[in-house]
Amino acid sequence: MYVKNKRVKKPMAKKKLQLVLVGLVVSVFVMSGVLAGYLLIYERSITGQILSSGEDLIIVEELSDFNFTSDSYDQFYSDELIISRNNIMLMDFTIDHQLINLDVDCDPTGDLLIEFRNSTNDVIETGSVIALYDMDNVFNYSVFARASSCPQNLTTTILMTEA
């Protein structure tokens, strides 16, 4: 028997099988995308080099040598020492004055007044502990010579060591 103009339907099982296969393929792609997100690894090694900036204590302005003539009027000499720091530090302070009288017939007692002061104008003496701050620390060295002082050489030694 032959049926004319009748369409033969594909079996339903074959259609279901195709849908299941398509679903499995799509599922595998979706799952692999999700798993790829969980399997992502980031790894980075960072290498750094730390360079020293040099000395921790920087002399910005140094004291300089001086000379003057003491005649019939008083003389005054002043100079600044500026020390820069990059952190706070305590320093033991020592100042020493050596006078050499150049005229044995002249008495130099009381001729000179020598001072070393900090930025707040306090006199700093030997044995003091001074603080250097994270900034420019300004010190003033001054010598006052009375009129007609004896001829003499003055050597001042300033020593600051970490406390």
pLDDT for position 35 = 52
In a domain, 4, yes or no: no
Task: Tell me the pTM.
Answer: 0.60
pLDDT for position 138 = 92
CA proximity to 94, closest of 156, 154, 139, 136: 156
One domain for residues 94 and 138: yes
One domain for residues 108 and 145: yes
Total number of domains in the chain: 2
pLDDT for position 65 = 78
User: Which CATH number does the domain housing residue 106 bear?
Assistant: 2.60.40
Type of residue found at 21:
L
DSSP state of 71: S
One domain for residues 18 and 93: no
Count other Cβ atoms within 10 Å, centred on residue 124.
18
pLDDT for position 129 = 92
pLDDT for position 74 = 85
pLDDT mean by block of 10 residues, the chain; 163 residues: 56 67 67 55 56 55 74 83 84 85 86 90 92 89 86 85 81
One domain for residues 23 and 82: no
In a domain, 113, yes or no: yes
One domain for residues 62 and 119: yes
pLDDT for position 54 = 46
Domain extent, residue 76, equals 57-162
Which region, left, alpha or beta, applies to residue 39 given φ > 0 means left and ψ of -120 to 50 means alpha?
alpha
One domain for residues 64 and 38: no
In a domain, 82, yes or no: yes
One domain for residues 131 and 70: yes
pLDDT for position 52 = 43
One domain for residues 109 and 63: yes
